[in-house]
Amino acid sequence: MSIDSNDSPASHGIEVAPGVHLPESALRFSSTRSAGPGGQHVNKVATKIRLHVSLNELRGPLGEAAARRLERLAGSRLTREGDIVITSQQTRSVARNRQDCLSRLRELLVQAMRRPRPRRPTKPSAASKRRRLEAKQHRARIKGWRRKPNNE
């Protein structure tokens, strides 16, 4: 029995989340200068990393329901073109900022893959209803004591 090199996980691309593999071409990295203090280094080195991932490329590996959750979770990181944009300028290293972008994408995907528990409607207990009504009556009595007495 031979091992086919095409069946290895590496041939499916980069694993961006557990069980979600994308081809390297689906992840587009760009770098720009970081903002903020840092002296001469920050002015001459492009260490801020911006990661673009197409939501359409993620729909297949994620599934439609998870892709819809991801779309909602992405919020302002989702562009009109359907790309999720993640930026990192935490460190002075391009490699570490790139890893930070990938880990943020991974967190977002893991969160989107988690199915929300269905809400089961509940009714208030009889005791809680009684306590609520007693509290309302108590409050009404307190307010009643503040009134001027009737002349009748």
Q: Specify the number of domains making up the chain.
A: 1
| pLDDT over threshold 60, residue 123 | yes
The mean predicted confidence, pLDDT, of the chain is 81
Give residue 44's domain range. 5-113
Residue 131 within any structural domain of the chain: no
Query: Mean pLDDT over residues 108-130, rounded?
Result: 91
Residue 100 within any structural domain of the chain: yes
CATH number at residue 29: 3.30.160.20
Q: What is the pTM of this model?
A: 0.63
How far apart are alpha carbons 33 and 49 in whole angstroms? 9
pLDDT at 142: 95
pLDDT at 25: 75
| Maximum separation of any 2 CA atoms in the chain, in Å | 104
pLDDT at 128: 96
Residue 127 within any structural domain of the chain: no
pLDDT at 34: 74
Residue 69 within any structural domain of the chain: yes
Residue 134 within any structural domain of the chain: no
Query: Mean pLDDT over residues 99-116, rounded?
Result: 88
Residue 142 within any structural domain of the chain: no
143-152 residue pLDDT tens: 999 988 877 6
At residue 142's C-alpha, the angle toward residues 141 and 144, to 5°, is 60
Q: What confidence category does residue 1 fall into, taking pLDDT thresholds of 50, 70 and 90? A: very low
pLDDT at 18: 76
How far apart are alpha carbons 138 and 97 in whole angstroms? 60
Q: What confidence category does residue 89 fall into, taking pLDDT thresholds of 50, 70 and 90? A: confident
